[in-house]
Every structure is written in C-alpha cells, then in structure tokens.
Amino acid sequence: MANRDGILALELAVSRLVLGQEQVIRKIIVALLADGHVLLESLPGLAKTRSVKALAAHLAAEMRRIQFTPDLLPSDITGADVLQQDAEGRHQVAFQPGPLFGNLILADEVNRAPAKVQSALLEAMEERQITVGGTTRPMPPLFMVLATQNPIEQEGTYPLPEAQMDRFLMKICFDYPEAGDEVAMLALLRQAPERQEAAMRLSQDDLFACRAEVAAVHVAPAVDRYIVDLVNATRGPGDAELARWIQVGASPRGAIALDRAARAHAWLSGADFSSPDDVREVAHAVLRHRLHLSYDAVGDGVTPDAVIDRLLDTVAVPA
C-alpha cells in the first residue's frame, strides 16, 4: 500500500503542474509502471514536453532531452568512440556516451530526423542496450523513452516505420484543456518557479518495488482470452465494418502490451487482479498506433480510436 501511495502522490504532483490532462498523466504513469515507452502526440503547445519535465522533476531520475532534427546523426544520440589525450600526452580511444544514456529520454519531435537516426533508438528501446564500435553497453535499469510528434505537420518530417511504432507500449494523445483548467494554468504560470516545485521525489528503488507488485497482479484465463480475442479481431475481423477499415492488425506484441498495461492500471486502481475493464481502459492507448487503416477508412475520415471503439463493442466481454 505504501508503494502505491508513493505512485499516486507522483501522479498528483505531475497533475498539479500539467492542468487539465489527468487522463493523459494516468496513462503515462501506467506506462512507467509497465516499464514501457510512450509516443506523445498532439498539436503544438498542449504540454507534451512539460509533462515529461514534470515527471522527471518528481522522480529521482536523470532526464535527457534530444531535439531531433534532419541533420542529426546516430552517434549524436548513442555516443561514439573518440580519441583522447591523457595528462602524459598519450592518446587512447575512449567511449563518449551520448544523451541516450539517461533514465527519462525526451525524444522531442522524433519524426523530424531521418530513418537512420530513428533506427538508432530501436536497439535501446527493445534490447535495452547500445552497440557502438563492436562493444555492447547496457542502458540504465530505469530507461524510458518519451517521444513527441505533431500529427498535422508533414513538411520536413519522416514518419516512423511500423516496426518502430510497435516498440512503443502506448501512443498517448493530448487534447485541449477545459476553459477552467486553462484559466488555472495562467495563474499557475504566473507563480515564481520555486513555488511551482513540489518537495516529493519518488526514488528509483520505490518505483522498482511498485513494478514488482504490478508483475504479481493476477490475471484470470478469461481475461487472457479477452485480450487475445481483441487482438485477433484486428487481424481477421468478423465484423464487416472492421474488415473494411483495418488493413493490417496488431502483432502479438500488442497482446503483450495490453496485458502489461492492464495489470499496471489495475494495480494503480487498488486491485490485485486484472479485469476486462482494465483492458478496455488502456485499449485505445495500446492499440491506436498498431493498426494500419485501409484507404477506405482514411477516405471516410475514420480514426484509429473510432476503429477501437467498434472493436470494443464487437468483441464479447467475459462475464
């Protein structure tokens, strides 16, 4: 219970700095507990970067920000072997770590960099290691990539390939805050910076203890079957509308992500078992970037969220 109280205090502290985005913050905390990476998408100015900074400010973790640009090189983020001279004038090759060797990695405007740079993230995100110059180096125990992108900006961007999108546990979309929250935001930003900072900082050991409890959350066979049925329904939909909308469905990694995120959501809600409701709560964030929609769906203006809504209405929920 004490571990859960610490995570809830972290969520509350971040929500006090990012007003009107409580559901988004909850999803980010779920991804943190599930040890997954997240893709944050919204129009400019909706607090994507601020959310990551607020999370890092209340977590005993090192945040690194990487601004992705078209001229970025893979070695700019992974690091490289460089020739150094010691005090006695002798030269030796030493590894200079890049900004990817941190705890919370803010990959800002990740679709601004070409595929060669984007692919440098793949090994770190999936295998939790970096190979440079034939030497493999592990990432820190706490390693989470939070990448941002703008959905309407197309000029000068390089869309993430499907294989890389699949590495993200969740794709979380920000929306405009309510008017009352926006008024409170103006008052918050007029405060002195030191007044905005909270005293609490969750330690990494406490976070790892929370993750151990999440891993112990019980999942009934019926819930496992429900997860598999949802994922299978994206591959061979029995529903005519879904069959017309979905061109390529979710991979088995989607089922794994649903399980991990649902268990984290259940634990955060105070339960020691995962239920179909937990699966449904995280389904949009877990599946929206794993579905490749058909030309018919795009032409009709059907969004991934609308497809997932139909999916949840179609697949039977276990009693």
Instruction: Tell me the per-residue pLDDT of 5-18, one tens digit each, with 9 for 90 and over.
Output: 999 999 999 998 89
For residue 86, the model assigns a pLDDT of 75
Quick one: pLDDT at residue 313?
92
Q: Which pLDDT belongs to residue 3?
A: 82
Query: How many other CB atoms sit within 10 Å of the CB of residue 161?
Result: 12
How many angstroms from the chain centroid is the CA of residue 82?
Answer: 32
**pLDDT value of position 192:** 60
Nearest partner of 202 among 61, 35, 28, judged by Cα: 61
306, pLDDT greater than 90: yes
* DSSP string covering 15-75: HHHSTT-HHHHHHHHHHHHTT--EEEE-STTSSHHHHHHHHHHTBTS-EEEEE--TT--HH
Higher pLDDT, 290 or 92: 290
Cβ contact 49:106 at 8 Å: yes
**Lowest mean pLDDT across 38-42, 47-51, 68-72, 192-196:** 192-196
- Give the span between the Cα atoms of 25 and 11, in whole angstroms: 7
This prediction's pTM: 0.91
Quick one: pLDDT at residue 2? 58
Q: For the residues 216-230, what does the mean pLDDT come to?
A: 95
Q: What's the confidence (pLDDT) of residue 8?
A: 93
What is the helix (H) or strand (E) element at residue 226, kind and residue range?
A: helix 221-235
* Architecture per CATH, 217-314: Orthogonal Bundle (1.10)
| Cα 55 from Cα 67, distance rounded (Å) | 18
% of residues, the chain, pLDDT over 90: 50
Show me where the domains of the chain are located.
2-70+101-187, 217-314
Q: What is the pLDDT of residue 66?
A: 92
DSSP 3-state assignment of 75? helix
Question: Is 144 a residue whose pLDDT tops 90?
Answer: yes
190-214 tens-digit pLDDT: 876 655 555 678 999 999 999 999 9
The pLDDT of residue 116 is: 84
Inter-residue contact 58 to 200 (CB < 8 Å): yes
Which pLDDT value is given to residue 234? 92
Question: pLDDT tens across 269-303, in order?
Answer: 999 999 999 999 999 999 999 999 989 888 888 99
183 confidence band (pLDDT: 50, 70, 90): very high
What percentage of the chain reaches a pLDDT higher than 70? 95
Q: What is the mean pLDDT of residues 75-103?
A: 84
pLDDT at res. 165: 87
Q: Considering only CA atoms, which of 220, 252, 258, 250 is closest in space to residue 233?
A: 250
**Which of 3.30.70.3460, 3.40.50.300, 3.30.420.40, 3.90.220.20 would CATH assign to domain 2-70+101-187?**
3.40.50.300
Question: Where is pLDDT greater, at 191 or 309?
Answer: 309
Contact between residue 234 and residue 311 where contact means Cβ atoms under 8 Å apart: yes
Residue 69 — φ and ψ, nearest 5°?
A: -135, 160
